Chains A and B, each alone.
Chain A
């Protein structure tokens, strides 16, 4: 018989936990859900748009009745649980309905805090918490004129704005002298106040509510000092309190909330708790992102997987008042030991403040233009050292070398539905917005799975997050800080790499076993990454696992959309001869190559080669002296050069010879992502060295070295690494840089985002300042090259991996 799980609370936290549990262990429990409200589970954070009339209740339902039925869940709507008998493991509702449990999940949420003033119980005095409150507000707005909202925080302002939109005259009474003092600093709060006053809201600051009065129904509010406000409706929005009455009565240990450990377990091992009713490591949370993280962990333990821990959340806030963009996160007020970076343009209605401590973002507050909020938040959670981008930080992420998408990023909300958001997968704004609302998506991962948007190059991630924010009304779940490398493990890339080296793991199965992989043979995300990590950690020792390589690397050619392949031989430094060109021409004619193309990296591309023909064409290329150009791999691609001082009147050094030497040294090396080089003979930079992963610009005094450039979807100019005097130094610095990148970047991370993630200073320290570290890294690179520089094409022309290129059988 199935074990019995009883969920007390039919809100977002409880049901999210159930959903996560069903994903992990759909058959484990017979599930019963009790909800005090008469509705199915709905998106509470969207009550504001319902109040404003922008959405209907049906729009914000997350799980309809059919969902509960489909998943075999017994749902008791409108039945508030009033007691828990932990000894006999039963719960009882107000109407006497009882249920017994093997495990209990408390998700009772929170209650609005009502000021203990006379008149607080008069009809017409309400909180702002559930659908019933919204319905009371809408009913009042229909009949009456004057509303008073007590509390000028997030919730209070949303209520005030909604009531104003419904035609009421609204006064907000606020105890402190600035609005949203927990989320905003003085400057941002002033801008918000000005905007809201312009819309017609009235404010009374330092207002102390003394009494609410009225006969039969509320008629007014009296403040300290005698001031009286007419009120047909009073909304108290001075805070929420975790709803712990039930847990307390049942004898569960509570402080401000129900106290839980990192597995979301209460002091009773059979009882778990999630959401706003919970107190974890001294913190309570009132936002949706932490609650979803808790749900994931709790489900993991209910499913008896027992491998996941909740370690608390850092939260950010966005205001859900239409047309007002506000963002805040972390410590945005600062203190004596912090620094503020501030940008203010009152005319344009823009204010940004980023607070730094030890060159790391510890908080941010923004008004007017909040597009970069998620980016600052990410920097904050990752503890990124921002020294290298300090001067540009306030201008936002788009100014860090992104010339491709900078302009469309500004106003995602104003974009038409037909605008393309994800160029890689051709996904338009309308499709994403529709999926978010129809399929109830909350996270970036959800959107990626359902629409493919942002799932390829990731450059539109900011836009997709902005769409999530604008569609969901500003609050959505962000990824936990430690991002697992794939769904097979909880460990992030860095920890896996470290374990491979420290614990001397030398095969993929050894990694799976030692690090307790969830899927016996991994997935198509982790296996190629592990194969690369092992190859880098144990050169000459690790045996490459062909089945863990993407098709292009497995067969050493680039798959095209029709299933044929492209073949690009190496042409060292882009310099060729008539004899080489003649043999290429003859081979192309012999195999009737449909298309011959010159690539962006100065190589010649044969397109449309059937797979079966590959070994033969490689054999001919091999005889003519060509080796693989690795144009198909996460590997060294090409070294692009100009003619340099041999011919060019501006040339300062022999850039072609330098390029050929670099290519001879580096070819054959596998890298976390593709790696391109270039050498320009003078600062006119005809080889475009400043958008390459490693670029050399020749000058009279020697060679300038540049790193981390990218000319792809997201253009990024290189950072200047250093200047050196001799070709030998260029080779040594290049080898060292490559090796540090190979050993430390995440798989599928180009040098551009890698440099931004770990900072230029760190790379300078490893490759420039510390000569010993440079020499050792270069040596490790040369050692690994001893095993890498065997031409895969020549090997396959001689019969290696023959099965890859021929059908198993021809029938008929």
Chain B
């Protein structure tokens, strides 16, 4: 029997279908849970995923209204018990606004981080393109990646800059291993050096941040949009781009697992799945 994952659907989210397919491809059973079901419908799942979109039209701030939804209390209680929770893009904004990331002691609902407006040198605002992440070891969310592996993935957001009022907080989270994914240089090896490697001005080059226990991840880029080889742009630099170019004309190779699959596979492994539903 496959582990059951609740795919949380709130008004304005728009990435549910592709996220469900990516979770199922990793061997998980997905049950969408909509906003008009009672919060108790979220009880008893082995993991929770909040997909991307514009929940409640991003009114007030991205993720701010959804963060106050009673369903988040149910998810927070599950997170306190160690249940994995993944938020992608708008889902990440919700987890940060709800205080699940970076989190505190069980029951502590303090908000200690923000996903602020992109600050791109002289400009700001919505930005969408492929970026390169680096998987840092030691997190359950990077188990399916090699430490230091470079993972191309699309980003598409206007508010993705991890920041805190205390300038020491993000470096501290990085040092504590709560930043499992950072933005890396696009072409050469190494950390991002500002724009364009870091697409939004995120502090500590953070693309994804977890709680202290590591079971809750807020990730701004979209792994579900990089789940198959045909998602990868043929002009992408690096080994994934090379694989994509070689796959041209080969249907099986085009449908093979893409760079984002490892994130969902890591989640499945943490839930005890060892053989994926599909060969990849």
A binds B: no
Partner-A contacts on B (CB < 8 A): none
